[in-house]
A = this chain, B = another copy of it.
Amino acid sequence: MATRTTRTARGVKPVGYDPSQYPAFAVTVDVVILTMVDGELHVLLVRRAHDPFAGMWAIPGGFKLPTETLDAAASRELAEETGVDAASLLAQFGAYGDPERDPRMNVVTVGYVAVLRDVGAIEAGSDAAEAELHPVLDVLAGRIELAFDHLRIIGDAIARVRTDLEVTGIATAFVGPTFTLAELRAVYEAVWGVQLDSANFRRSVASEQGWVIPTGRRAPSGAAGGKPAELFKAGAAWKQGGPIRRPRSSKRGA
């Protein structure tokens, strides 16, 4: 049989080998769950019930089991917290192992970021009393006290999403199954903190074949009236780079 890339030599143990001679760590996965609320980027936080950091906010996470992969652990945690089964939306972005990041023991955690569209599902799956969505701007500004090194972890997750928004088509994951171009544009504007021209945005999106698909229907007008917007749905071309590039510098910025 041919060589396999991932070798599983189960049972091959060197004679005299002793695992205890190596430092032991606990390994956890933490999931940064991002979503859009009122055109603003929000992150799901849970309030800690016990020490350490009792009463402080934290991102959900849990221990990796020896029998599962890191991706599976993250997927499981996401499902437990939000009831959402969307492993494809999970992206690993970093590992954290500073010696005293957890006062109890040596813990190395692996950070995953999930971008969700359905806010309702989040409330349903988690123990609602302890889970809450917070504006990312508040968190990054330090206005919310976070446990462990979760502020740094969230910051890295945001940075990851910011670049992913440019190199992948991840933007459609933020919005609902059908969406208007204004909603999609709001994702870019919120994540990047920029203003995009709606007409140019439409032109760029339209030029990318198969990224979004018109449904033929129209969304009801908002409270302020206006022409009802065309409704789109996400196309299959998901990963090979979205059509919107992050503007390098604004020249006549308002």
Chain B residues within an 8 Å CB radius of A65: 6, 23
Q: Does A209 contact B (CB under 8 A)?
A: no
CA distance A19 to B49 in the complex (A): 18
CA distance A246 to B151 in the complex (A): 33
Q: Does A141 contact B (CB under 8 A)?
A: no
Is the CB–CB distance between A103 and B8 below 8 Å?
Answer: yes
Q: Which residues of chain A (106-120) have a CB below 8 Å from chain B?
A: 106, 108, 110
Q: How far is the CB of A67 from chain B (nearest CB, A)?
A: 5
Q: Does A251 contact B (CB under 8 A)?
A: no
Q: Which residues of chain A (39-71) have a CB below 8 Å from chain B?
A: 46, 48-53, 58, 60-70
Chain B residues within an 8 Å CB radius of A68: 99
Chain B residues within an 8 Å CB radius of A70: 95-98, 108
Q: Which residues of chain A (74-120) have a CB below 8 Å from chain B?
A: 77, 80, 92, 94-101, 103-106, 108, 110
Q: How far is the CB of A12 from chain B (nearest CB, A)?
A: 5
Chain B residues within an 8 Å CB radius of A73: 97
Copies of this protein chain in the complex: 2
Q: Does A227 contact B (CB under 8 A)?
A: no
Is the CB–CB distance between A58 and B94 below 8 Å?
Answer: no
Is the CB–CB distance between B11 and A53 below 8 Å?
Answer: yes
Is the CB–CB distance between B99 and A17 below 8 Å?
Answer: no
Q: How far is the CB of A248 from chain B (nearest CB, A)?
A: 9
Chain B residues within an 8 Å CB radius of A46: 10
Is the CB–CB distance between A49 and B7 below 8 Å?
Answer: no
Is the CB–CB distance between A104 and B17 below 8 Å?
Answer: yes
Chain B residues within an 8 Å CB radius of A97: 27, 64, 69-70, 73, 110
Chain B residues within an 8 Å CB radius of A147: 7, 11
Q: Does A138 contact B (CB under 8 A)?
A: no
Q: Which of B14, B48, B92, B94 contacts A51 (CB 8 A)?
A: B14
What 4 A-B pairs come out closest when comparing CB atoms? A6-B62, A24-B24, A9-B103, A95-B95
Return 29 A-B CB contacts under 8 Å, by A number: A5-B146, A5-B149, A5-B152, A6-B62, A6-B77, A6-B98, A6-B100, A6-B152, A7-B52, A7-B53, A7-B80, A10-B48, A10-B58, A10-B60, A10-B100, A11-B103, A11-B147, A12-B50, A13-B50, A13-B51, A13-B52, A17-B104, A22-B26, A22-B63, A25-B64, A95-B95, A97-B110, A108-B108, A108-B110
